[in-house]
Structure 1
Amino acid sequence: MNRTTSSEPQKILLVTGVSGAGKTTVLKTLEDLGWEAVDNFPINLAGQLLKIPASGGDDGPNIPLALGFDSRTRGFDAEALIRQIKHLQNQPKLNILTLFLDCAGVEIERRYAETRRRHPMAQDRPAMDGIAIDRTLMEPFQRWAENVIDTSKLSAHDLQQVIRERYTSEKSPHSTITVTSFGYSRGVPHNADLVFDLRFLRNPHWDSLLRPLTGLDASVSEYVAADPEYDEAMQKIRELLRFLLPLYDAQGKAYVNIAFGCTGGRHRSVHVAEKFGNWLREDGFALTVSHRNLTSRPIDALEEPANGANRTMSRQDSKST
């Protein structure tokens, strides 16, 4: 029995690429979008998988399917797999596309170093050796894939946003909203539509008890909210968003990215992003809240006040206010 029951062809996305380029992130994002996602799937078993009814049953919706595989997948042979996929594509009830994730070797090496994982193709050798082997094995798929995304300069959040924009199937009368916190010391998010600078609020970084905490902690939130300018500023921003977001809807803008920034991206911006996430949900908007620099290391030099005040005075001022 075939899993395809509607009049439309079964949509299948084959997600592959070099190891470390973001395949797991893509599959998790697709799953959040309502796709059925299977990672490390032996593609030579795809024919048998498609005979299994979808999770909604034979009369359920035609749920799109994402299958992840790479050079580590059992039975991997690039040329043989491409031939098998071409054979499946000849079936009229299947709409099969391939997404290839590429990434620069130096960036993959950095990612493996950060996570302290060994490259699967170089368990006892430098990571760059494994990267070169993996790229050679995956090269036929890179040439053949209909869609290629280079993730070299994309954070995990940026990649998630790209996938949402390309593969969201549901049509909504409202824009899809992303609320992001970030640190100016590490750059403004490249895809931000509206940016609010929160560096006018007093900085919890200079309180030794609050410095190791984040804007997700109640004590930091209370500290930020106690700033004399906080309430009025938050209400004005909320009024502005209440005015602008319906206008974006009316213009058919599919995605609106709202970014709140402070110096390091760990305290003020995190608290405010969470607050606006809750407010916008109360106003009926569906959204995602993301904290780009939440786990970044706090660095005193990056937190120096923009007005040139010295560090000691800033710390004293923040304790006295």
Structure 2
Amino acid sequence: MSDILKDTRRVVVVTGPAGAGRSSALNVLEDAGFEVIDNIPLRMLLALLDAPGQIRPMALGIDQRNRDFSTDRVTEVIAQMRARPDVQVELLYLDCATDVLLRRFSETRRRHPLALADAPSEGIRLEKELLAPVRAQADTLIDTTELNIHQLREEIEHWFAVDGTHHLSVSVQSFSYKRGLPRSVDMVFDCRFLRNPFWDPALRSLNGTDKAVQDYVKQDPLYPPFAKQVLDLSLLILPACQSEGKSHISIAFGCTGGQHRSVTLAQSHAFSLAEEGWQVSIRHRELDQKKREETAR
């Protein structure tokens, strides 16, 4: 590592709407070795970076509760930090669907900080409008709608290395078109043209993590060229994204039910990328949802 990198402090600014998991993310970063400071006044952030002491990665939590919070001020401060040669700044934005935020506020019986006298739905609406310009600048966007606390921890630990070097993390996931496209994905591939194991009674109850299903899907004549071209495209794009300074990229495969074909492709693609040396995580949206429903019974 060069002397310049050794003298560069990594700073992760963590924000997002109330209830999306900002505090939980800060806890994970603290466990990972970051110096964590929450709700510090924005006017003090730059002075904080100049304070003497050991250079450690730092995580700064900000939201509308900061005394001098405004989207313009947040944008200005982040731009000032990015202009400094001694600071590597990353903006982590935690987002969540409105209906899930409403459920979380209902379960905790907390008032929304922007709607103390009104329904939480109004506060959520106002906050999302307020934070929209900040969200647009995010280096890393994690949607916590379908994540539990353990999955969020895995996401945070996966995206943020603590060795001071830049990594591009790749997320590969499967999904069902019946439930719509996943949030915040960079590339989406439709697998519905491949032969469907659902129509084989012996395979219907299995999924794409099972070898029998994988073998069935891979016997489709279109599978080998499709899988190869998707891999070639990924291997072309990933180095360019890394050179551009991106911290993560998300690739999604979809099929009708999100159980067989998309899972098979996601598994195969993720393993192929890992063999090429990329840092990869795998998530199967529909399979994970099914597990949560079975656990809740």
TM-score by length of 2: 0.55
Q: How does 1:198-217 map to 2 (within 5 A)?
A: 198=192, 200-204=194-198, 207=201, 211=205, 214-216=207-209
Asked if the contact 1:28/1:37 (under 8 Å) is kept, the reply is: no
DSSP 3-state at the match of 1:236: helix
| CA 66–280 in structure 1, closer or farther in 2 if over 3 Å, else same | same
1:253 aligns with 2:241: yes
- CA drift at 1:273: 1.2
Asked if the contact 1:157/1:292 (under 8 Å) is kept, the reply is: no
Task: Give the AA of the match of 1:43.
Answer: I
For 1:229 and 1:188, the matched residues in 2 are separated by 24
Larger radius of gyration: 1
Aligned residue for 1:23? 22
Aligned residue for 1:264? 257
Q: Deviations over 1:253-303 (max 9, x none)?
A: 3465432211122343224312321232123333232323334469xxxxx
CA RMSD after TM alignment: 5.7
Aligned residue for 1:118? 108
Gaps of 5+ in 1: 299-321
Q: How does 1:142-291 map to 2 (within 5 A)?
A: 148-149=134-135, 155-156=143-144, 170-171=165-166, 176-189=169-182, 191-193=185-187, 195-198=189-192, 200-204=194-198, 207=201, 211=205, 214-216=207-209, 221-227=210-216, 230=219, 233-248=222-237, 252-254=240-242, 257-291=250-284
Task: Give the AA of the match of 1:129.
Answer: A
Task: Give the AA of the match of 1:20.
Answer: G
- CA drift at 1:225: 2.6
Task: Give the AA of the match of 1:149.
Answer: R
| CA 110–259 in structure 1, closer or farther in 2 if over 3 Å, else same | closer
Asked if the contact 1:13/1:66 (under 8 Å) is kept, the reply is: yes
Aligned residue for 2:119? 129
- CA drift at 1:129: 2.4
Aligned residue for 1:307? none
Task: Give the AA of the match of 2:18.
Answer: S
Aligned residue for 1:318? none
DSSP 3-state at the match of 1:284: coil
Aligned residue for 1:43? 40
- CA drift at 1:171: 4.5
For 2:276 and 2:207, the matched residues in 1 are separated by 26
TM-score by length of 1: 0.52
Aligned residues: 253
